[in-house]
Structure 1
């Protein structure tokens, strides 16, 4: 009896959602062409996912016509269905009642991806009951995290239609470098503990140099690749390092990291693909002080197998840092002393390998999730075509 009552209230909630004012009362213009039509609605929190899915689908199915729509009125949704789309893809937290209902009436397969369902979605309030009813129309529900997966199941989605994919993350191609240059440089590094401090602002130079002294105490042949955020700092830094009794080489002078060299000053932000490949450990500058105007994206070293160390100031690229931290893919340090301790500790290959492997999985996971969404969409299109 309760299930029947819940279903009726759910339909009432669905009806009320459908009567809410819509932003668009006219049917959208249909893209020209003869290929199948995919209708997409993406919520504000899923713009990155839409961009990446759209690009990948265009490569996989060049004849596919992709139409992004906003919230439609019932007449506009019905007019859109008259164009005989092949499938509907929803990205993000929104479940547009009018569009999903129209798709259901037209027998259109619906895929919900990047679904960030929350606990309130499984409540027994009117709005939540309406969302439960909408979820019954989904051919596939691809969720971002275990909590969203549990919520989808509590909402009544069939277990076989719910899949935990993780979130779509930014896909960044690995930075390039000259393989000949990398090979030559690698000859100098055999048996040495090397690490990179990338885009280091002047405010963090003391902390980075202190961390390298700690690394030298752990391994007297340790080598630091130091990339100042401001290339104008290269010559003053070289003079300071030499005055402190350390041996320095400068990339700008075409010098090599010979065995006696303890710090190699790179030429600032250039050739980062080379340094990430050579250094098993990377500290990303700006994250200790918050002086991060020149901060590098954390997926850069992650995609090239370099373990990442960072400070607490991660407002820039906050989402990516959160993903790395949640996967145990980066080492956060609180201050300069903790940075020194972490760099010294990360001379152990097994610790480096674990961090680097986890980081690589996170940085490349966006491509895998995007492909999973695209596969579901193409299956839905095949199912929706006569």
Structure 2
């Protein structure tokens, strides 16, 4: 896609102007159209002690600016993936982050106090060309200022959770007015859509779409290596313990021993979370007297192999493809879990996991709802789940459900990027004709 054209007469290196709340041609008519609840909230938020504060913001980057607001770490991960793809299509675009900010972000700021003067100052300084919002914490004054500035605003991943605003409880609800200021709201379910309609969101604003996740390219694997390993294990049932921390090693081996009593040909692949965890894996294997293949030493599994031990996650792309079932490590022991389940789902693995999944809870929940993942609690429940899910028809059904979640998220990303491109192109065209 061609880079966005600057407006006629735009001086290279300068910020592109946007209309800011309070301009004469919009101010009076905007006040007349505001709902009573919003007008009362805006009047209250214009307290003298907050009216004239001006944070020391860094310099605005040159050219076009996309503003991304992430309420949570999961939102940040999803927006980060979205930003990388958007920048591929619009390499001249800069990104402003608010809320949770990636370590690699070049431009970030704290949200202003939620009053029209503070919001107008924020927009006057940063002059974003498009805003994308995630989360349920709405800022009515900020959204009103964006509306008056004719700044296109999108919300993604709107679900069934209740929205909140900074308004006191005794004030009329400002949520409907705040939601009305979004040009497009991508909602993730029928219930979310019904909830938004009850808040006065119009048909023109709503788009039903799957949850936008932090999809990453599938882990790589040489096709020849995959073929060799698949031939070596033959038709044996095989399961994978991926990114396994030291504290979970014994639990995994106990589960494998228990399951192996009813499935003698069952094969386990253990991939430690780090190279430092490999020693614990070897010690656990020795304690159980299982016949072990040391992958990084050049061993190849044979018919008598019971466990394949790896040194590190370097070749997880291979093992996700070989094993139809994967337990995602760190989720049984508290404080350990940080494995994105989409990396397994994208490569055709049915998923087992424990209750401690940290920032990926929303993604695991989506996979469970789709029938692609199942929670376990300890070695006994893990061993039982392995025996049940390893059945070819069950594993295939779960893997297919997981793939559908992955592809639906990718389709949502495509739709959001198309909407971003459309809105930016429209703004560029409007500037060119002025």
Normalised to the residue count of structure 1, the TM-score between the two structures is 0.80
CA shift for structure 1 position 81 = 5.9
Residue 332 of structure 1: aligned partner = 375
Residue 342 of structure 1: aligned partner = 385
Separation (CA, whole Å) in 2 of partners of 1:215 and 1:227: 19
Residue number among 247, 261, 278 corresponding to 2:305 in the alignment: 261
Pair 1:25 & 2:21 matched: no
Pair 1:143 & 2:187 matched: yes
Residue number among 373, 379, 382 corresponding to 2:422 in the alignment: 379
Separation (CA, whole Å) in 1 of partners of 2:251 and 2:68: 49
Separation (CA, whole Å) in 1 of partners of 2:376 and 2:198: 39
> Cα deviations across residues 108-147 of structure 1 (Å, max 9, x unaligned)?
433233345744669xx77564331233333211234444
RMSD of aligned C-alpha atoms? 3.6
Residue 16 of structure 1: aligned partner = 43
Residue 252 of structure 2: aligned partner = 208
Unaligned runs of 5+ in 2: 1-32, 98-108
Shift in CA distance, 85/153, structure 1 to aligned 2, threshold 3 Å: same
CA shift for structure 1 position 261 = 1.9
CA shift for structure 1 position 185 = 0.7
Shift in CA distance, 43/209, structure 1 to aligned 2, threshold 3 Å: closer
- Where do residues 291-306 of structure 1 align in structure 2 (5 Å cutoff)? 292=336, 296-306=339-349
> Cα deviations across residues 342-381 of structure 1 (Å, max 9, x unaligned)?
1111231121122222333444554433333222222222
CA shift for structure 1 position 304 = 1.5
Separation (CA, whole Å) in 2 of partners of 1:53 and 1:17: 36
CA shift for structure 1 position 179 = 2.6
Shift in CA distance, 146/275, structure 1 to aligned 2, threshold 3 Å: same
Contact 1:287 1:310 in 2 (8 A): yes
Separation (CA, whole Å) in 1 of partners of 2:234 and 2:208: 42
Normalised to the residue count of structure 2, the TM-score between the two structures is 0.72
Structure number with the bigger relative contact order (C-alpha 8 A, sep ≥ 6) is: 1
Residue 278 of structure 2: aligned partner = 231
Shift in CA distance, 182/38, structure 1 to aligned 2, threshold 3 Å: closer
Residue number among 62, 66, 90 corresponding to 1:61 in the alignment: 90
Count of aligned pairs between the two proteins: 374
Residue 281 of structure 1: aligned partner = 325
Pair 1:48 & 2:77 matched: yes
Residue number among 343, 363, 366 corresponding to 1:320 in the alignment: 363
Shift in CA distance, 234/339, structure 1 to aligned 2, threshold 3 Å: closer
Separation (CA, whole Å) in 2 of partners of 1:270 and 1:217: 31
Pair 1:97 & 2:112 matched: no
Contact 2:137 2:164 in 1 (8 A): no
More displaced 10-residue stretch of structure 1: 304-313 or 58-67: 58-67
Unaligned runs of 5+ in 1: 1-5
Contact 1:145 1:166 in 2 (8 A): yes
Residue 198 of structure 1: aligned partner = 242
More displaced 10-residue stretch of structure 1: 101-110 or 274-283: 101-110
Separation (CA, whole Å) in 2 of partners of 1:269 and 1:121: 41
Shift in CA distance, 12/358, structure 1 to aligned 2, threshold 3 Å: same
> Cα deviations across residues 201-240 of structure 1 (Å, max 9, x unaligned)?
5554454334334544444332221335521235444544
